[in-house]
Amino acid sequence: MNRFKQNKLAIFGLTVLGFFVILAVLAPVLAPYDPSEIVESDTLPPSLRHPFGTDDLGRDVFSRALYGARISLTVGLVAVSISIMIGTILGLLSGYYSGLIDSTIMRFVDIMLAFPSIFLILTIQVMLTPSIYNVMIVIGLTSWMGVARLVRGEVLTIKERQYVEAARAIGASNARIIFRHILPNSIAPIIVAGTLGMAGAILTESALSFLGLGVQPPTPSWGNMLMDAQAYLVDAPWMAVIPGILILLAVLNLYFVGEGLREAFSPREEIK
């Protein structure tokens, strides 16, 4: 933890993200207007009354950005939780039971990775009704492969450690060895992967919403705010710039935190 604290970039990232989370949680209190209410004439530039201006329908962009943060961050968090859960369980099984189970799971991972994921997501989204819940689930279901490989690799080294053999020698069952001895020792890379994965999930959500198959209007998300903006890039650039910067900041700072955690957990930088 100390090494994480010494990483200024990571601390900065954590602060910005914390700030975002507070804004998202307090959105109903902080937002001056209802995000879907038409409050003024359209495409007004930023002013004191509307700090981020208004959009093509005359809605307050600041309020929409606040509510959009809720959606985008939630989608990121839930999607990553799903992918971490699937990836960790499959990775644990694959690494612990070598042989047929391992080959089956890893070939399945290869198949999933061979699909261009954005097309896979789009296809599924077209078949289902696009809703924010489907977005979370679909992103989660198509992004666990990296985690599974990572966890498998970790398990392969940990299961050869002597304390695993010692646990077996006192009569611990396979399930007990996997979840009590191997999982806690491989948690560090999982956390790192989760942080970086959340950045990816936010980007995917934005891309999906931008393409119109993600979060549906009038619910604001940073992605569909961008989509609304594309016709007004010249007349109302703030409509695109604001959500764009927010996505950039969220993703960039998640990477800072992820890298900070990775460095803090990495044993080879122990001596300093």
Would you tell me which residues interact with other proteins (CB under 8 A)? 98, 161-163, 165-173, 180-181, 184-185
Residue 162 Cβ, how far from other proteins at the closest point, in Å?
4
> What are the phi and psi torsion angles at 41 (to 5°)?
-70, 160
In angstroms, give the least distance from the CB of 181 to other proteins: 5
- Which of residues 116 and 171 has its CB atom nearest to other proteins in the complex? 171
Cα–Cα distance list, 48 to 24, 37, 54, 234 (Å): 21, 18, 12, 22
Closest approach, Cβ 53 to other proteins, in A, equals: 51
Where does residue 168 rank: exposed (0-12), middle (13-18), buried (19+ CB within 10 A)?
Answer: middle
Contact in structure between 163 and 181 (CB atoms under 8 Å): yes
- In whole angstroms, the minimum distance from the beta carbon of 151 to other proteins comes to 16
Complex with other proteins: residue 95 or 140, whichever CB lies closer = 95
Closer residue to other proteins (CB): 38 or 172: 172
Of 224, 254, 219, 226, residue with least CA distance to 242:
226
Nearest to 41 by CA among 31, 50, 30, 29: 50
159 is written with which tokens?
A: 């299961």
| Residue nearer to other proteins on the CB measure, 107 or 161 | 161
12/97 with CB nearer other proteins: 97
Give min distance, CB of 267 to other proteins, in A: 11
Beta strands in the chain (DSSP E): none
The answer to whether the bond into 218 is cis (omega within 30° of 0) is yes
